[in-house]
Structure 1
Amino acid sequence: MRPPKRPIHAVSLWVRRQPPKVKALMAVVSGMATLVLLRAIVHDHDNLFVAAEAVHSIGICVLIYKLKKEKTCAGLSLKSQELTALFLAVRLYCSVVMEYDIHTVLDLATLATTLWVIYSIRFNLRSSYMEDKDNFALYYVAAPCAVLALVIHPSTSHHFMNRIAWAFCVYLEAVSVLPQLRVMQNTKIVEPFTAHYVFALGVARFLSCAHWVLQVLDSRGHLLTALGSGLWPSMVLISEIVQTFILADFCYYYVKSVFGGQLVLRLPSGVV
């Protein structure tokens, strides 16, 4: 006699059997339900953005622990870390010249730890770096982001180059995880610390997206006007949503793996 299936396995099996349109609808409904919950329990929705940056920092700390403990960078994308350092550096500059608040401190801390990870991969642990798997061309994302920033950027009173830089870091952040996803796609097996890190990125992106959506709802659309005119306000929201959906599939399989008691995450084809 077969042992009874765990509830999480039964639910997971049912979800996998659903057609793509039904899965997409369930993802949207789940996201909206979570937004409603966050709106009810978090009074100052600006704290969601702070939480997103804090979770990102925690994810970087997980990477540092992996590098220090296991003495290997296998499964990590150096290119994704370089893109992360680039958009953090640009955002830190924009934060200093435009606002200078708690986000500046958090960005500085995250940038410092990201640079440490890059240094470790490039020099201390170079022998374990999977360069053949980390084959995503950076100009595929950096160049379009730069062009898009020149065309669509804030129309605020800040200096023109600062507005271009602001737009560039927003667009680049949205796609900075793609090289890491390519590495996982090439290997199909994700070891625990790398999985924790990418899941932390997914949580951070969702919290950041929730921050913007709820801020727009709270201001009844006035926040979009404050960000400037034209397409820029919409592009900010679209960038946040794109980041969230890029990682949504991975986060689903991560949660499924954790509840299933698996230490190593095995991804089916076409997940990332």
Structure 2
Amino acid sequence: MRRPKRPIQSLAAWVRRQPSKVKAFLAIITGMTTLFTLRAIVNDHDNLFVAAEAVHSIGISVLIYKLMKEKTCAGLSLKSQELTAIFLAVRLYCSFVMEYDIHTVLDLATLATTFSPSDREILMLVQLAPCAVLALVIRPSTSHHLINRIFWAFCVYLEAVSVLPQLRVMQNTKIVEPFTAHYVFALGVARFLSCAHWVLQVVDSRGHLIVALGYGLWPSMVLISEIVQTFILADFCYYYIESVFGGQLVLRLPSGVV
């Protein structure tokens, strides 16, 4: 006799049967509902950014545990780790020279965990070069030194695409072991919290935050970068949650995901 499905499993099965447009609509509704909930329960929305940094650091700590326990980097993209280390190092520099605060400490902790022992591979410039060019063209218009403003823009753009190599690895294997799945899900949560921080800051300041970031295309690019980071990982996070509630230890991704 078959065991009855849990409500979450029934809901997940229903969502899975829906066409892409319906799934996208449901994702938008879920995201907006979560944003309104966070706005209501979190008094200081700057804490969302702190939480995002903390979750990111926890996710990387999971990778360190994987390396220590399993003695293997199977399923991981070192390219993503190198890109992460680069944008964190640049952002740490910007934090020191532009806004030394709690974010600097959190960036330092995350960078330290990122530089864990691992296998080596050649770093491709397919993500670095476009981000560098874009940073030269679209950057903050604040009173800081030009070089610092370019670095600031560069780390924002690089962060948005740093996870792409990891997603490509998972796309090729289709089977994601638990530690890697936990790490990528932590990235997704961190990106969502960071995006929520920026969106709610703009809403609460009634648009004044955008003006504070400068003029031209830069303020829009900051928000677009945050949204892109969130949506890149949204699909994976959905299947991760479905797998966890389904009691599966190994995440199996269907074709077309990530």
Give me the whole-angstrom Cα distance separating, in 1, the residues matched to 2:90 and 2:3: 55
- Cα RMSD after superposing both structures: 1.2
Cα deviation code 1:13-67 (max 9, x no counterpart): 1111111111101000000000000000000000000000000000011001111
TM-score by length of structure 1 reads 0.93
The alpha carbon displacement at 1:141 in A equals: 1.5
Secondary structure, aligned partner of 2:225: helix
The correspondence of residues 10-159 of structure 1 with structure 2, limited to 5 A, is 10-116=10-116, 119-122=117-120, 138-159=124-145
Is 2:185 aligned against 1:187? Answer: no
- CA distance, structure 2, for counterparts of residue 168 and residue 242 of structure 1: 15
- The answer to whether residue 9 in structure 2 is matched with residue 9 in structure 1 is yes
Q: Which amino acid is 1:255 matched to?
A: I
Instruction: Report the equivalent of 2:237.
Output: 251
Deviations 1:211-267 (A, max 9, x none): 000000110000000000001001000000000000000000000000000000000
State TM-score, norm by structure 2. 0.97
Cα deviation, residue 166, structure 1: 0.2
- Aligned sequence identity (%): 84
2: CA distance between counterparts of 1:189 and 1:91? Answer: 33
Q: CA deviation at 1:7?
A: 1.6
1:268 Cα offset (Å): 0.6
Deviations 1:71-94 (A, max 9, x none): 111001000000000000000000
Cα distance in structure 1, aligned partners of 2:66 and 2:2: 38
Letter of the 1:50 counterpart: V
SS in 1 for 2:115: helix
* Comparing 4-13 and 68-77, the one that deviates more: 4-13
| Deviation at residue 70 of structure 1 after TM alignment | 1.2
Q: In structure 2, give the amino acid aligned to 1:222.
A: H
> Residue 127 of structure 1 corresponds to which residue in structure 2?
none
Q: What's the secondary structure of 2:72's corresponding residue? A: coil
Q: Which amino acid aligns with 1:158?
A: H
Runs of 4+ in 1 over 4 A off after TM superposition: none
> What secondary structure is seen at the aligned counterpart in 2 of 1:43?
coil
Q: Distance in 2 between matches of 1:5 and 1:86?
A: 45
| 1:140 Cα offset (Å) | 2.1
How many residue pairs align between the two structures?
Answer: 258
Find out whether 1:236 has 2:203 as its counterpart: no
Unmatched tracts of structure 1, length 5 or more: 123-130
Deviation at 1:208, TM superposition (A): 0.1
Q: Distance in 2 between matches of 1:144 and 1:120?
A: 26
Taking the aligned partners of 1:228 and 1:13, their CA distance within structure 2 comes to 46
Question: Which stretch shows the higher mean deviation, 61-70 or 203-212?
Answer: 61-70
Larger mean CA deviation between 83-92 and 12-21 belongs to 12-21
Q: Structure 2 regions of 5+ residues with no counterpart?
A: none
Looking at structure 2, the residues matched to 10 and 158 of structure 1 have their Cα atoms a distance apart, in angstroms, of 53
